[in-house]
Amino acid sequence: MRRLNTGIRILSLLVVAQFVLAASRGLLSSQEDSAAAWTGHEGAVTDVAFLPEGDTVVSCGLDGTVRLWSVVSGHMKKVLYSYEDEIFALAVSNDGRMVVTSEYSGQVNIHSMEGGPIRHLNGFLGWSADVVVSPDSRKAAIWSMDGDIWIYDLETGEHVSKLEGQKNKWGMALAWSADGSLIATGRVTIIVWDVGSGNQVQTLEGHKGFIRDLAFSPDGQRLASASMDKTVRVWDLGAEEALFTLEPQGLVIYQKSGPVTAPIRLPMTAVAFSPDGRKLATGGSDRVVRLWDAASGNLMREYKGHRMSVTAVVFSPDGGRIISSSLDHTIRLWQLE
């Protein structure tokens, strides 16, 4: 009996020692400030957005579904739509009435939140990796593979105009300014277009890889870009130059013996300004969501929990939370302090 008790004690000590050792190496998730993962998508979650009231989140993914989630409970409310093809991007109109999605099949679909038939946007070439809706909720823009930006009327689904001049240059990032006058397109170079005239008004050069996401500041004075070149740049549109470049170092690979790499830099995939324009959220392949001071570029906080690349980050309408989506099939809601 005494021998058994001694054995149990030794075993307990070994377990505690393993726990302490593992914790010191950062292997345990309890060390991370992880938000609860919202699960339901049966594949990578590619994009996410808040509905205007801020109580519901809409997401899409490679499983071909568009889903609605309760912000309060983190539970899925329902599958809004289900398609056979991968969905790469979505945009919600500011009036909350419509969700526009872009699929690998080349379908861009307008879903009414009030029900009713789905309308399709037709005529462009290939598929669009991104989709944006104008601030007045009347138009949507996509990037055709022939290089043109096609603009559609959201009510009728009819094509109304094009932004031409990037022949055969296809990209993955679009943004529409808050006053509705400008659209930014990002390939490796960023082009800012006047929507009314269809003219290119600015060209922003500096990135060395494909741009994955763009965001105008609410006052329209700055533009943020997240790139495969592992940087996020914030541009002063008045000066046509980068105010600062963020080069976060994130992913550390651990093995039993401890960290085997110094933090490595990986592609950045997502960027968003807070509603007051004072903060910037970023996400990338290092799986970390970061909060930055949008004026100085100083890092304010890191949010860890995703197990794979972050695909999108969005502030809640009140600016108090960030929602992020990931290739790990989950969505996470981060409460800002």
Partner 1 sequence: MESEKFAEISQSIKALERKNSRLNLIVLVLSAAVVVSFLGITALRTQAPNPLGTTEILRVRGIVVVDENGTERVWIGAPVPEPLILGKRFPRGGKMSGIILFDEEGNERSGYCTSDGYSNVLFTLDSIGQQHVLFLAEPQGDTALWLWNGGNSFKLNVGEDASSMKLSQAEKVLFESPPARLDERGGDIK
Whole-angstrom distance, CA of residue 259 vs CA of residue 326: 24
Q: Is 254 an interacting residue with respect to partner 1 (CB under 8 A)?
A: no
Residue written as token pair 């939370």: 321
Q: Is 172 an interacting residue with respect to partner 1 (CB under 8 A)?
A: yes
Residue in 206, 92, 202, 106 with CA at minimum distance from that of residue 150: 106
Residue in 143, 279, 162 with CA at minimum distance from that of residue 212: 143
CB 49 within 8 A of CB 314: yes
CB 72 within 8 A of CB 56: no
Residue written as token pair 């309060």: 72
Q: Is 228 an interacting residue with respect to partner 1 (CB under 8 A)?
A: yes
Q: Is 46 an interacting residue with respect to partner 1 (CB under 8 A)?
A: yes
Task: Pick from 56, 311, 316, 324 the residue near partner 1 by CB under 8 A.
Answer: 311
Name the one range near partner 1 by CB under 8 A: 18-26, 150-158, 202-210, 290-298: 202-210
Task: Pick from 91, 191, 323, 327 the residue near partner 1 by CB under 8 A.
Answer: 327
Name the one range near partner 1 by CB under 8 A: 135-143, 158-166, 205-213, 217-225: 205-213
Least distance (Å) between residue 89 CB and partner 1: 8
Cβ closest to partner 1, residue 134 vs residue 326 = 326
Least distance (Å) between residue 300 CB and partner 1: 25
Name the one range near partner 1 by CB under 8 A: 65-73, 125-133, 154-162, 237-245: 125-133
Q: Is 62 an interacting residue with respect to partner 1 (CB under 8 A)?
A: yes
Residue in 278, 319, 311 with CA at minimum distance from that of residue 87: 311
CB 140 within 8 A of CB 132: yes
Q: Is 150 an interacting residue with respect to partner 1 (CB under 8 A)?
A: no
Whole-angstrom distance, CA of residue 313 vs CA of residue 48: 7
Q: Is 127 an interacting residue with respect to partner 1 (CB under 8 A)?
A: yes
Name the one range near partner 1 by CB under 8 A: 16-24, 42-50, 64-72, 151-159: 42-50
Q: What DSSP designation does 135 have? A: T
Q: Is 104 an interacting residue with respect to partner 1 (CB under 8 A)?
A: yes
Number of chain positions touching partner 1 (CB under 8 A): 30
Q: Is 247 an interacting residue with respect to partner 1 (CB under 8 A)?
A: no
Residues 6+ apart with CB under 8 A from 71: 50, 54, 55, 56, 57, 316, 321, 333
Q: Is 198 an interacting residue with respect to partner 1 (CB under 8 A)?
A: no
Q: Is 66 an interacting residue with respect to partner 1 (CB under 8 A)?
A: no
Name the one range near partner 1 by CB under 8 A: 49-57, 68-76, 85-93, 159-167: 85-93
Q: Is 225 an interacting residue with respect to partner 1 (CB under 8 A)?
A: no
Number of other CB atoms surrounding residue 307 within 10 Å: 13
Whole-angstrom distance, CA of residue 142 vs CA of residue 171: 10
Q: Is 267 an interacting residue with respect to partner 1 (CB under 8 A)?
A: yes
CB 284 within 8 A of CB 268: yes
3-class DSSP string for 233-268: EEEECCCCEEEEEECCCCECCEECCEECCCCECCCE
Which amino acid appears at position 32 of this protein?
E
Binding site for partner 1 (CB under 8 A): 42-46, 62, 86, 88-89, 104, 126-127, 129, 145, 170, 172, 208-210, 212, 228, 266-267, 269, 285, 308-309, 311, 327, 329
